[in-house]
Each structure stands twice: as C-alpha cells, then as structure tokens.
Amino acid sequence: MKMRLPLALIANVRLLNSGFRIRHSIHNGVTKTALLSSHNICSRAERKWIKPAGFDTGVKTYNSLTKQKEPLVLAQERIATWYSCGPTVYDHAHLGHACSYVRFDILQRILSRIFEINVIHVMVITDIDDKIIQRSLEQNISPTVLARMHEEEFKRDMQALRVLPPAVYMRVTDNIPQIVAFIERIIGNGHAYVTSQGNVYFDTQSIGNRYGKLVNLGGVVGELGSQDKRDPRDFALWKAFKPHEPHWESPWGQGRPGWHIECSTIASSVFGSQLDIHSGGIDLAFPHHENEIAQSEAYHQCEQWGNYFLHSGHLHLKGSVEKMSKSLKNYVTIKDFLKSYTANEFRLFCLLTRYRSAIDYSDASMNEARSTLSTISAFCHNVQAYMQGHLQCQPIEEGILWERLSATQSSIRKALADDFDTPKAVDAIMSLIHHGNCQLQPATKVDGPRSPAVFGAMLSYVREIMGVFGVDLLDRKEVHDSSGVLNNVVEELVHFRIKVRKFALSVEDQAPQDPQTGSEIQKRHPQPDRVPLLKACDALRNNLAPLGVYIKDRGTNSTWEITRGETRKN
C-alpha cells in the first residue's frame, strides 16, 4: 500500500539553520547525519515540574511527573484539555483495556458534573503498527480493513460500557502529513537524525538530563531491534520501508511513523504547545509517555508540554501477578464479559478501588460489585414504595436523615476532590443507605405522620451521584429494550396477583388486638381452602425472578421491577 503526500511536505530537510550545526558520524558501520543545537539545554534542574498558572479547580490529583498529589490547575478557566492514548486496533478489546477507559471516564464525569469543568477529550486510534501488520499478514487481509473492523468493535464496546466518547477520535493514518511535518521540525531543532537506512531517530543525548521526567531510568534503557542508532535509548520517529508493509512518502524516503510520534503530533495539532492532562495505563508511562514528552518538548522548544500525567493501575486476574493482556493470553473480551455481568456492575467494580491502584478481577470481586449495586437498587425501590404508600413504617426520625444527607453530600465532594477517591465516596453512599434502611422497617400498624420528602431527597441524591459515576439506576436502556408492552403486561399481571393474594389472605374475622400495644395477640391463618392460591402466587413470583421480573410482597400489596439478571436483596 503506497500513499503520496503533497509536494510541499516532501521538500528536502533544511540542514542549515541559525544556531545549529551538522554532525556526521559512523556507528556500527552506518553513516548518520544529525543536526546538533549549539545551545546547551541539559541540566537536571530542568526535570523539575513547573506548577501551572491559571484556574485552580479545587481538586488535587496524583501527578506521575512529581510522584505526589498536586493541585489541579488549568490553563483556562473551567476548561480542561485532555489527551488519551486509544487502542491499537488489531484484536478484540479486553477487560484490561475496559478498566482503564471506564476509570478515566469516571474521572472525566466527576470533573464535569461535580466541579463544572468542560473536559475537551481527544483520543488517538492507532491504526498502523507492527502488531496490525503482523496480524493482517496472518489473516491475509488488508491492514486497513483489519484496523477498521476492530476500531468499530472498540467503539461498540465502549458504548456498551457507557464510556462517553471523546470530542473526537483521530486515526494515525489520517494524520501522516502532520506527522512528517512534526518530525521535520524536531530534526530542524536539532533533536533527531536520519540514518543511511532511511530511519529517523530521536536523539536522546541532545536533551541530556531532561530525558526521564516520568521514569528514573537508572541506566541505559532502549528499544530493541534497531542497529543503526547512536544511543540505545534513541527511539524511532520514522521507520524505513519494508516489503509488504504500508508506506508513505517522506523527505527521508518511503516508510511509516514510529509509535510514539503519533500521539505528540495529534495532541499538538489540537491543543498546541500546552496540554493540561494526559492519561493512560501505567504500562504506557515508559517508554511511550516518556518519549512523547521528549519529542513534544523538542518540537515546541518548551520547558513543560504536559502538566499532569494520570496513570491507571493494571487489571490482574485474581491470584496472578501478571496484568491482563493479549500477549499473555489471559484476557476476557468485553463482549464475553457482558454476557455474564452488566455495565453497571463493571462500573461498581471499578469504583470500589482507586483509579491508580491495581485491581484484581475474579468472580468474587464481581459478586461484591453486584451485591453493592443490588443494595443500592433495593434501597431506591423501597424508598419509592414508601413514598407511594405501599410500604408502611413507624414514624421516621426525619431530622437525623436530613443531617445524614447533608453530611454525605459534603464528604463525597471532599473525597472526590482528593484524587477522585471513589471508594470513599461509595462508602459514604452505602452509609447513607444503611441509615435510611434502618428507618424503612415495615410495620403492620402505623401511628403518626409520614416523611416521604426526606426519602425523596435521599433517593434523588443517590441517583444523581451514581449517575455522575455513569451508573444508571433507572436502567433506561434496559427498560427500553424490554419494551413498553412488556411493562404494561407485568403491571396487569401483578395487579391480578395482588387481588388473588388479598382474597387468599382474608379471614372471617379480625384477630384480637392488645389494647395497650395495638398488636395482634394471635395471628389467624388463612382459610385452608385458600392456601393453594397463596402457594400459586409465591410460585409465580419465584418463577418470574430468574426471567428478570422481580416482585416484592409488602403485606397485602406488592411492587415490581424489571431487572437484568441482578440478584436482588429483600
């Protein structure tokens, strides 16, 4: 596959610029030409992080550049520029990918909904890469076709997991002219060299101690497999043409981009010389993000390109020290996962740990998430039943619940401002629900006023904060999928069952009551000939539950909801 660029972008590299000189050298028998800056930019002090000037969000976040929490300060008021590394589309996305994308989706939602920040998110789609080329050869299809297939599958997976799409997806192959121009300037600035084989490498020695902002290299670390570079740490900006590989024209001959250059080019094409937030999995910190920083600052000639680097922890299979990955063949695809669990349950799974912590995946950890979601859903259902008058309770200590709600709102905002501490926020929600449940105890005889307003406020807040996290407690999609017809049928069925139960539970006369407590001294049993009706009602309720229709009996009344395979708590 051969692609041509406009002639303006194939001009010869200008070798002589003010402040630069040409160096020719021979390394391992290969002659190389590079441009060296006459300015010395190498000093350890220049690795130091520079706190941005601008709008303080009130949030503190862990910055991989400083290895500690820092105030999140944005260049523009209430606007966050955010770049993330997207997928290399050569295979199915798996849960390890999903975990990172869902976690950062939660962070972006928190910034938007809680702290009123307009997040402008750009994500790259890597659609040309060694792995894509290798897989296309194995399957005997075009690399472009392979990449498009898995790109669309990735987008469907993200939609199924309720991950908000970025403002724009940008493919590498749609930005080849910009990548070539980006490399030209890095060469012109004296930080890259062209080899006789037609490769272009970033010259790490040209930036001295500034290389290693994210990772303390400790010693010589480099990419393997290249023999025509000066320093083992140097990395490819442009790879020379090889047979049976896609290639494009460039001033250095036919070839294709290296891996790291794509992100620097695309992020810079949208956001310019300054980026607020860059995110990705912790495995991308080195070499990918380290090299992005080096080449971006070499291009822009700036001291600090990205202000905050956020990294998510690995997803591990329970009992394994290895991350979930395709290369280790220990992965679960998103499509297969969603056959057993819901998007809501996976979000709860992610919320129960800090975004930058490693997370263990197992049936037990997913069941914990499912149980937590079930407790929240059951509370919402019980509150609705109480507000509708279907659930009778003793008088509520309303003042205590209002105080609990206010304290919960304050503690959750504080937790989320502290490096997006979602486990602490979920704990606060569960504590609020616990105190609500303590007062939602059914009673056969009720004296005194009811307090639906405070429970309405609690219900609204729980739905709101879970909605911020991307957990849809209203299950709009699932109810929509089940159709309005099914809802109407279930409604009629439950009403009919209520009438049957009331008839079956009725007795000839009321049981005597204690004059002081008002409670029944001795309960009367249903008439024997009506017991089969009660058993039939119970059987119907039990048989419908596995089918997703959950009926809860509340005295002689009943409430119902359509679920999606969740195990509900009574």
- Kindly write down the DSSP assignment for every residue of 510-562, as one continuous string: PPPB-TTT--BSSPPPPPGGGHHHHHHHHHHHHHHGGGTEEEEEETTEEEEEE
Output the pLDDT for position 296.
98
Residues 6+ apart with CB under 8 A from 98: 157, 161, 334, 337, 346
Structure tokens belonging to residue 516: 């002081």
Residue 390: count of CB within 10 angstroms of its CB: 15
| 6 preceded by a cis bond (ω within 30 of 0) | no
Intrachain domains 55-351 and 363-469 with the same fold: no
* C-alpha–C-alpha distance, residues 534 and 536, integer Å: 5
Output the pLDDT for position 329.
64
Output the pLDDT for position 357.
96
pLDDT tens profile 284-326: 999 999 999 999 999 999 999 999 999 999 999 876 766 676 6
Output the pLDDT for position 28.
34
Q: Which helix H or strand E contains 80, and what residues bound it? A: strand 79-88
Output the pLDDT for position 317.
85
**CA distances in angstroms from 478 to 48, 224, 465, 562, 570, listed in the order given:** 50, 49, 20, 8, 21
pLDDT tens profile 498-553: 999 989 888 755 555 555 554 554 556 778 888 999 999 999 999 998 888 889 88
Nearest by Cα to 242 from 228, 253, 227:
253
Residues 6+ apart with CB under 8 A from 24: 31, 32, 33
Output the pLDDT for position 218.
55
Backbone torsions φ then ψ of 194, nearest 5 degrees: -105, 135
Percent of the chain having pLDDT more than 90? 69
* 72-88 mean pLDDT: 97
Nearest by Cα to 355 from 49, 65, 64:
64
The dihedral of CA 528, 530, 536, 542: what is its sign? negative
pLDDT tens profile 132-188: 999 999 999 999 999 999 999 999 999 999 999 999 999 999 999 999 999 999 999
Nearest by Cα to 295 from 222, 210, 177:
210
Output the pLDDT for position 3.
42
* C-alpha–C-alpha distance, residues 59 and 397, integer Å: 35
**CA distances in angstroms from 128 to 88, 89, 256, 500, 542, listed in the order given:** 8, 8, 8, 65, 53
Burial pattern 234-265, b for ≥16 Cβ within 10 A else e, equals bbbbbbbbeeebbbbbbbbebbbbbbbbbbbb
Residues 6+ apart with CB under 8 A from 570: 378, 552
Output the pLDDT for position 169.
98
Listing from the earlier edge strand, what are the strands of the sheet with 118-126? 168-171, 118-126, 79-88, 275-281, 306-312
* 421-434 mean pLDDT: 98
Q: Which helix H or strand E contains 466, and what residues bound it? A: helix 452-468
pLDDT tens profile 46-55: 578 999 999 9
Q: Is 391 left (phi over 0), alpha (psi -120 to 50) or beta?
A: beta
The chain-wide mean pLDDT, for the chain, equals: 86
- Specify the CATH number of the domain 363-469: 1.20.120.640
Output the pLDDT for position 515.
52
Output the pLDDT for position 33.
34
| Secondary structure (3-state) at 93 | coil
- Specify the CATH number of the domain 55-351: 3.40.50.620
Output the pLDDT for position 117.
98
Cβ-count burial of 357 within 10 angstroms (0-12 exposed, 13-18 middle, 19+ buried)? Answer: exposed
Nearest by Cα to 107 from 82, 75, 74:
82
443 pLDDT above the threshold of 90: no
By the 8 A CB rule, do 107 and 420 touch? yes
Domain regions of the chain by residue span: 55-351, 363-469, 482-504+526-569
Output the pLDDT for position 481.
46
Output the pLDDT for position 226.
63
* 257-283 mean pLDDT: 97
pTM: 0.81
487 pLDDT above the threshold of 70: yes
454 pLDDT above the threshold of 70: yes
pLDDT tens profile 191-235: 999 999 999 999 999 999 999 999 876 554 566 556 789 999 999
* Per-residue confidence band for 441, with pLDDT thresholds at 50, 70 and 90: confident
Burial pattern 53-65, b for ≥16 Cβ within 10 A else e, equals eebebebebbbbb
* C-alpha–C-alpha distance, residues 275 and 273, integer Å: 7
* 6-29 mean pLDDT: 33
By the 8 A CB rule, do 380 and 315 touch? no
Output the pLDDT for position 484.
66
pLDDT tens profile 327-354: 656 679 999 999 999 999 999 999 999 9
